[in-house]
Structure 1
Amino acid sequence: MFSLSVPAVVALLSLTAPSALAALLQSADDAASQLSSTKYDYIIVGGGTAGGVLANRLSEDSSNKVLLIEAGSSDYNNTNIQVPWLAPVLTHSQFDWNYTTAPQEALNNRSIGYARGKVLGGSSSINYMIYTRGSEDDWNRYASLTGDDGWKWDNVLNYAKKLENFTNAPSVANASSKFVSTVHSTKGPVGAGLPQVTLPIDQLALNAQQELSSEFKFNQDLNAGDMTGMSWTPFAIAGGARSNSARDYVEPALSRDNLDVLVNTQVVKVLKTGTDGDTPVVNGVQFTSGPKEKLYNLTATKEVILSAGAIGTPQILLLSGIGPADQAKALSIESIVDLPDVGQNMQDHPLLTTNFEVSSNDTLDNLTLNTTFQAEQLALWTNNRTGDFTLGACNSWAWQRLADNDTVFKNVTDPSAGSKSPHYQLIWSDLYIAFSGGAFPQGHFLTLISNLYTPISRGSLTLNTTDPFTYPIINPGLLSDEAGFDIHTMREALKAGRRFLGAKAWKDWIVAEYGASANATTDEAIDEYIRANALVVNHVSGTVAMGKSGSTGKGSGALNPDLTVKGVKGLRVVDASIFPIIPAGHTMVPVYILAERAADLVKNPSSGSGSSGSGGSNSAAPIGTSFVAGIASAIVALAAYLL
């Protein structure tokens, strides 16, 4: 979520990363002979959140030969990736695709940076590790929109449990009262849990919630189906280090002789390999080690599965002639199937930050202001994976809904999935955060982050060239809805955040709102501040959405409910692009969930009604890497931007 430029620190920390695992194929050129002599049943394109799940689950059957292709490197054990506190330095690093949106008209024509993971583990390797499943209402709506009850909450909850190892937090007071153990599992591969460090701000926030409980109810566990209210924040962090699909799914499967993982290799298109009656069969891929390098073709005996993300997957489809026929014709691309929804329906969650001065000197700003304290925390993580470097974005937060009688609903139908699904999110972090960089002010701060989670606005992804190494036109259409629901809800979210921080519980702690937002007191001024400063949470979704089985035409979805591509055979999509409506929550865990179910659908098309299956290996990759002497000084310069 941050926009940082820290190449020196990235370079220093990269020196501590282990060499690539020998079981991985490091480039298409180096592995050409092996690939050409191997018959793969499944070729998975994209080694990210979903691709890692599929690689593991499909290779559980020793009769399947599986190839996983990742455009980025295999450096998922890089120290920057492992340390939760260093998540901000991964944006604009070698692990980021570094996409940029088209100018957003509703954001004063600003272009927004889009962070997407380009490394084994994908965005689960560079994101902020926030662990939300989505609401019961969200999943039930997917079932309704697709006509497939397998997407209902009661069924996907089994997959949510199957994937996780949700552990208690022994170092946190009353940790067991901060989540509902019966809706979690400790048997899955993905390590998750509550923050391991208690902060002074935690009790202040709880006191404020109790004071304002009529507006901010307490929610013991937002992953139990109802996401609304204030709760403690779970993260995909285990043993003080980031959990991601590379560590938790891919690495445990590398010992299997029926899985090959090819990195530093970009798939540029999928290929039609024949027909079944009048239906094109698309189970081939074309890939290369880089621009102007040799192109290779490979055919799967069963399926190609695209898991390249909500930007990469539609780009590959469009380059392949699977998408709107008029777009293909404009670029002289032979159309395989006319699917007008490919690249459409793009959605994301807009984000806003405001800062507040505080009277306390006990904030995480000390990781910048106090080099002795910082060195102590660095040593704690280096030696035993404890301390403040194990922290994520916040320890508690609130997910809220607009009032039922909000004036906006006079003209707009509520876009949320139901009463258990929030309209917006409030995060409070006890340090100064500048998402777009800038000078770090002296003093101590609280940052309020207010995000819209039920956007009406929609955008699109389109091609402007047939060059696969030129990024497509990415236009999420942020805050562009004609009804004005999105900007209204962003405004109300900021007002709600101010009310929460205006509780008596904060009276002696918060001094005043800081910076340009302090002058935004009228609705008009707030809207102007939002349009000048809003960014995104980097949850791009919906660009190859699923719909009802067999339905055709614009708005009916590009995928069947089993995630197979309509109008062709041999091709499936499994990533965040499949959501017909973006989940009202952070998208990593919903992608894990859909990938777990997709694996069952691939292995047994009649399955997926909720059976959790036997599960995969629970072993985690060893952490292995430590900071070297001299890193601390680089971290001091960096910490002004850390979250």
Structure 2
Amino acid sequence: MAKTEGFNPVDHFDYVIIGGGSAGCLLANRLSRDPSHRVLLLEAGKKDNYLWIHVPVGYLYCIGNPRTDWLYNTEPDAGLNGRQLRYPRGKTLGGCSSINGMIYMRGQARDYDRWAALTGDDGWSWENVVPAFKAHEDHYRLDDDEDPQTGDNSRFSDLHGHGGEWRIEKQRLRWDVLDAFAEAAVQAGVRRTADFNAGDNEGVGYFEVNQKAGWRWNTAKAFLRPVLKRPNLTVWTEAQVEKLVIATGADGARMCKGARVRRAGSVVDVEARKELILSAGAIGSPAILQLSGIGPAQHLREKGVDIVADIPGVGENLQDHLQIRSVFKVKGVKTLNKLANSLFGKMMIGLEYGLFRSGPMSMSPSQLGAFTRSDDSQSHANLEYHVQPLSLDAFGEPLHRDPAFTASVCNLNPTSTGSVRIRSADAGEAPAIAPNYLSTEEDRKIAADSLRQVREIVSQPALAKYQPEEWKPGVRYQSDEELARLAGDIASTIFHPVGTTKMGRDDDPMAVVDSRLRVRGISGLRVVDAGVMPKITSGNTNAPTLMIAEKAATFILQDAAAGA
């Protein structure tokens, strides 16, 4: 292999992991188990020693905060009638698991069976990913030998794990208005479910969350802190990668040799002797690849980046879940609006959390969930509800004063796709994020149908005693055209970007990585994060990202052993 011009590493490691988020923390844990492996984990953000990361309601103070968030925004979006959205991404150890909604959700079995078909690799089928989910789970329902409801935990333990690093607990609160919404959903034909994560998540119930004794349980606490004393593991925070270093041999073969990193005001090179693993997320990873000359050739030329590999799929295939928020005023029932708008109420909220680690400060952003079908022709649940005992104009704004609840609904399988593209060759400039929401007729139709379904559920007898009144969007909007246009006015992301470095078959020209997550045409380089998903999962995306990392760790170690 030819010497790489200008590459002068300050140190070398067997494995260099870029991104200390959900995937990166798990990978650092798994790859450093063998004391003969020197592992470096690079995180552009700071340590996760900020109090609000760990208090569940602290996401309100982490999103939009440069201490913990990259502060991205989308491009003006035609599907949103020209609006731009705030696009939070975690910038701290733990990544998005430090600022997200803490909801534990695998998706549907059909999601993974589809991945297996798209990649030609049965290893991604539901049957074969369940062990990877279980490998790191610590599920509260397995704390006891018997399920308190059925007296038998054997079937549950076939699907879930116990004793792993990733704690899953039930929420430490309940609300009458949410119980009533759940009953209304049942009256509208939605079944109850005790487990959203058994392969078919259709039903209504309270979300399970990644918390431990009322605190947020992020991946830095779960996977990284317990192993920081390993002498073969090095963690650099506030270390931003400017580019990957790719060497080209005399035979034209390309190999990733390491990374160029800006840290403490200096730029240094680090060498990856076995592999470099890119785990910077569905926004960060394609941006780093493009800055390194790996991506759509025409775009890279336009931005003044020397082309290393023309891989057109880098940054394409962006998929996300867009939620539409409906707000209903209610009477005769407690919601968080009134409680949080009084000094006494705030004092009581703080006291309850201080004494018991329960109540509103232990809340995830959404408490009650439901998975339904937008119409009878759907073969599976294609909508997800996030129901909250509160209301506000927009995320981060003050709560309304009148008692109200919010029912947000999203299309689980959007057909609209977008892109992530660098704006320049400057690693410090945020990439252009263009989700292209509601850009297909199918997505617009499902948006309209979902708003009608919310109204149907709220009209059921279970909620009648609270006299729900549609406040937003308003009953005056009825036609498909009105509701689709309205969705563009009020919808917002729930922060689930995936697909921008998708895996696929050899004959898929847009596939960036193969089914073992190796970047095509460049040895020693893998991508391991939500970007590799060929299709978005039918639910929240943090748990699937951890599963991907668990499988990737196995791939990496197997390939190293095979090449030894």
TM range (shorter): over 0.9
**Structure 1 position 44, deviation (Å):** 0.2
Q: Which of 512, 515, 519 is equivalent to 1:561?
A: 515
Instruction: Write the distance in 1 (CA, Å) between the matches of 2:250 and 2:125.
Output: 32
1:186 aligns with 2:162: yes
Report the AA paired with residue 223 of structure 2: Y
The answer on whether the counterparts of 2:101 and 2:366 sit within 8 Å (CA) in structure 1 is no
What SS is found at the alignment partner of 1:39?
strand
Report the AA paired with residue 603 of structure 1: L
What SS is found at the alignment partner of 1:562?
coil
What SS is found at the alignment partner of 2:246?
strand
**Structure 1 position 485, deviation (Å):** 0.6
1:390 aligns with 2:362: yes
Structure 2: which 5+ runs fail to align? 1-7
Partner of 2:17: 44
1:605 aligns with 2:564: no
Distance 1:515 1:187, change over 3 A: same
What is the RMSD computed on CA atoms of the aligned residues?
2.3
The answer on whether the counterparts of 1:352 and 1:449 sit within 8 Å (CA) in structure 2 is yes
Structure 1: which 5+ runs fail to align? 1-34, 407-418, 608-643
What SS is found at the alignment partner of 1:257?
coil
1:211 aligns with 2:170: no
Instruction: Write the distance in 1 (CA, Å) between the matches of 2:221 and 2:339.
Output: 28
**Structure 1 position 88, deviation (Å):** 2.1
**Structure 1 position 252, deviation (Å):** 0.8
The answer on whether the counterparts of 1:164 and 1:192 sit within 8 Å (CA) in structure 2 is yes
1:532 aligns with 2:486: no
The answer on whether the counterparts of 2:11 and 2:271 sit within 8 Å (CA) in structure 1 is no
Report the AA paired with residue 594 of structure 1: I
Report the AA paired with residue 43 of structure 1: V
Residue pairs, 1:234-383, within 5 angstroms: 234-275=208-249, 277-289=251-263, 293-383=265-355
Report the AA paired with residue 376 of structure 1: M
Please list every run of at least 4 consecutive aligned residues from structure 1 whose deviation after the TM superposition is greater than 6 angstroms.
177-180
Instruction: Write the distance in 2 (CA, Å) between the matches of 1:113 and 1:206.
Output: 30
Distance 1:439 1:132, change over 3 A: closer
Partner of 1:615: none
Distance 1:440 1:332, change over 3 A: closer
The answer on whether the counterparts of 1:274 and 1:282 sit within 8 Å (CA) in structure 2 is no
Partner of 2:64: 92
What SS is found at the alignment partner of 2:100?
coil
**Structure 1 position 429, deviation (Å):** 1.3
Instruction: Write the distance in 2 (CA, Å) between the matches of 1:441 and 1:119.
Output: 31
Instruction: Write the distance in 2 (CA, Å) between the matches of 1:206 and 1:329.
Output: 54
Q: Deviations over 1:239-271 (max 9, x none)?
A: 101111111011111011110000001001111
What is the TM-score normalised by the length of structure 2?
Answer: 0.92
Report the AA paired with residue 572 of structure 1: R
**Structure 1 position 462, deviation (Å):** 1.6
**Structure 1 position 401, deviation (Å):** 1.9
Partner of 2:4: none
Q: Deviations over 1:442-488 (max 9, x none)?
A: 2211111111111101111122211111111111111112xx11111
Instruction: Write the distance in 2 (CA, Å) between the matches of 1:400 and 1:606.
Output: 44
Distance 1:211 1:177, change over 3 A: farther
The answer on whether the counterparts of 2:21 and 2:97 sit within 8 Å (CA) in structure 1 is yes
The answer on whether the counterparts of 1:139 and 1:151 sit within 8 Å (CA) in structure 2 is yes
Residue pairs, 1:540-559, within 5 angstroms: 540-548=497-505, 550-551=506-507, 553=509, 555=510, 557-559=511-513
**Structure 1 position 207, deviation (Å):** 2.4
1:78 aligns with 2:53: no
Q: Which of 402, 409, 412 is equivalent to 1:453?
A: 412
Q: Tell which deviates more after alignment, 325-334 or 78-87.
A: 325-334
Instruction: Write the distance in 1 (CA, Å) between the matches of 2:120 and 2:233.
Output: 34
What SS is found at the alignment partner of 2:406?
strand
Distance 1:87 1:562, change over 3 A: same
Distance 1:606 1:39, change over 3 A: closer
**Structure 1 position 370, deviation (Å):** 3.7
Report the AA paired with residue 252 of structure 2: D
Report the AA paired with residue 268 of structure 2: Y
Report the AA paired with residue 50 of structure 2: N
Partner of 2:177: 201
Distance 1:534 1:552, change over 3 A: closer
1:589 aligns with 2:543: yes
Residue pairs, 1:156-167, within 5 angstroms: 156-167=129-140
Residue pairs, 1:145-160, within 5 angstroms: 145-160=118-133
**Structure 1 position 200, deviation (Å):** 1.4
The answer on whether the counterparts of 1:116 and 1:122 sit within 8 Å (CA) in structure 2 is yes
Partner of 2:5: none
- Equivalent pairs counted in the alignment come to 548
Instruction: Write the distance in 2 (CA, Å) between the matches of 1:450 and 1:59.
Output: 41
**Structure 1 position 175, deviation (Å):** 7.0
Instruction: Write the distance in 1 (CA, Å) between the matches of 2:302 and 2:405.
Output: 51
Instruction: Write the distance in 2 (CA, Å) between the matches of 1:474 and 1:175.
Output: 47
The answer on whether the counterparts of 2:501 and 2:513 sit within 8 Å (CA) in structure 1 is yes
The answer on whether the counterparts of 2:327 and 2:473 sit within 8 Å (CA) in structure 1 is no
1:117 aligns with 2:90: yes
Report the AA paired with residue 433 of structure 2: I
Distance 1:354 1:97, change over 3 A: same
Q: Tell which deviates more after alignment, 276-285 or 225-234.
A: 276-285
**Structure 1 position 193, deviation (Å):** 1.7
The answer on whether the counterparts of 1:159 and 1:597 sit within 8 Å (CA) in structure 2 is yes
Instruction: Write the distance in 2 (CA, Å) between the matches of 1:176 and 1:320.
Output: 54
Partner of 1:137: 110
